[in-house]
C-alpha cells in the first residue's frame, strides 16, 4: 500500500494527529487500534467521521492516524481536522463543503497559564478585610 500524499496534521489543545490517507474501504486506525475502540463514546466517533460524511467519502479511503498529547477529546478534534485536511489534499473540490461546516478551522483555545501570585489562571485568594 502506498501513501497518496504526505501526512496531514491536525491540532487541538495540546493534541497532535498525523493522518495518512490511502485508497480503501473506509477503515480508520488510530495508534494501531480501530477508531471505535480508541474513541469509546459515540459522540467522539461521530466527531471523527463528520468530515467523511459531509463529503460522502466514508467508504472510499482508509485512514491511518498517529496521535499523541492532550486528552481524548482534544485528540478527537485533532483527528477531525487532520482528516479534513487530508481530504482537501486528495480532492480540492471538497473544500467549500468542509469550510462551510467549519471543519478546516483550527480550534486555537488552550488552557490559560497560571499567573504568579494566584491559585489559578484567574482565581484569587480569599479577600480578608482585616
The pLDDT assigned to 67 comes to 96
Residue 113 falls inside a structural domain: no
The pLDDT assigned to 1 comes to 46
The H-assigned helical ranges of the chain are 35-38, 42-54, 72-90, 95-100
Residue 60 falls inside a structural domain: yes
CATH number at residue 45: 3.30.230.10
The pLDDT assigned to 4 comes to 55
DSSP of 106-126: -----PPPPPTTSSSSS--PP
Task: Give the domain extent around 82.
Answer: 8-100
Residue 107 falls inside a structural domain: no
Residue 21 falls inside a structural domain: yes
Residue 51 falls inside a structural domain: yes
Report how many domains make up the chain. Answer: 1
Span 55-99, pLDDT tens digits: 998 898 999 999 999 999 999 999 999 999 999 999 999 999 999
Residue 2 falls inside a structural domain: no
The pLDDT assigned to 6 comes to 84
Say if residue 129's pLDDT is above 50.
yes
Say if residue 3's pLDDT is above 90.
no
Amino acid at each position: 500500500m502506498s501513501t497518496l500524499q504526505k501526512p496531514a496534521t491536525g491540532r487541538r489543545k495540546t493534541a497532535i494527529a498525523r493522518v495518512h490517507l490511502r485508497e480503501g474501504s473506509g477503515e480508520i486506525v488510530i495508534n494501531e487500534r480501530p477508531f471505535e475502540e480508541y474513541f469509546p463514546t459515540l459522540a467522539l466517533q461521530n466527531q471523527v467521521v463528520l468530515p467523511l460524511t459531509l463529503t460522502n467519502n466514508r467508504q472510499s479511503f482508509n485512514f491511518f492516524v498517529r496521535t499523541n498529547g492532550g486528552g481524548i477529546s482534544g485528540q478527537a478534534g485533532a483527528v477531525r481536522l487532520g482528516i479534513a485536511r487530508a481530504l482537501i489534499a486528495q480532492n480540492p473540490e471538497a473544500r467549500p463543503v468542509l469550510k462551510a461546516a467549519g471543519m478546516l478551522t483550527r480550534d486555537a483555545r488552550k488552557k490559560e497559564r497560571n499567573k504568579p501570585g494566584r491559585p489559578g489562571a484567574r482565581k484569587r485568594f480569599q479577600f480578608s478585610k482585616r
